Amino acid sequence: MNTVLLTIILVPIVEIYLFIKIGSQIGAFNTISLIFITAITGVFYARYEGLNTLRSGINQLIKNEVPAYEIVSGASIAFASLLLIIPGFATDLIGFLLILPLTRKIILGKFTKKFKNKSTQKKTYIDGEYEDLEDDNDRKL
């Protein structure tokens, strides 16, 4: 099954389950308040971390270096902000993990190692020459 389709189906199921469990423990009003508080806090913290990443990227450009980590980090902060705006506890947890610099570096480090291993694998090529052979009738002339 396609992972995107599976994610679209499973995320709301997990969120509804968590709403029911947490809502039964702390009450409906507190659950709704907690969702709004995490969304507002997450958006402000995402803005703060986004500006720090932008500042770091500009410093890298001034040093004539490619801000590769800053670009990936900025994209993960944007994705984390989206997760924090979506109501739910599981998406908020993943969003906060992506926003915090320490956990973001760990998560991105694992992904970059995975992609570096694929791109740096030794490729085997056979170097050779070829000659286009013509029909025997053309050679006899």
Residue 22: its pLDDT value, please? 92
Query: What pLDDT, on a 0 to 100 scale, did the predictor assign at position 120?
Result: 53
Q: Following DSSP, what letter does each residue of the chain receive, concatenated?
A: --HHHHHHHHHHHHHHHHHHHHHHHH-HHHHHHHHHHHHHHHHHHHHHHHHHHHHHHHHHHHTT---HHHHHHHHHHHHHHHHHHSS-HHHHHHHHHHHSHHHHHHHHHHHHHHHHHHHSSPPP--------PPPHHHH--
Amino acid at site 77: I
The domain ranges of the chain are 8-112
DSSP category for residue 124: P
At residue 2, the pLDDT reads 86
Model pLDDT, residue 141: 53
pLDDT of 10 reads 92
pLDDT-flagged residues of the chain (< 50): none
Round to whole Å and give the CA distance between 9 and 60: 41
- pTM for this entry: 0.70
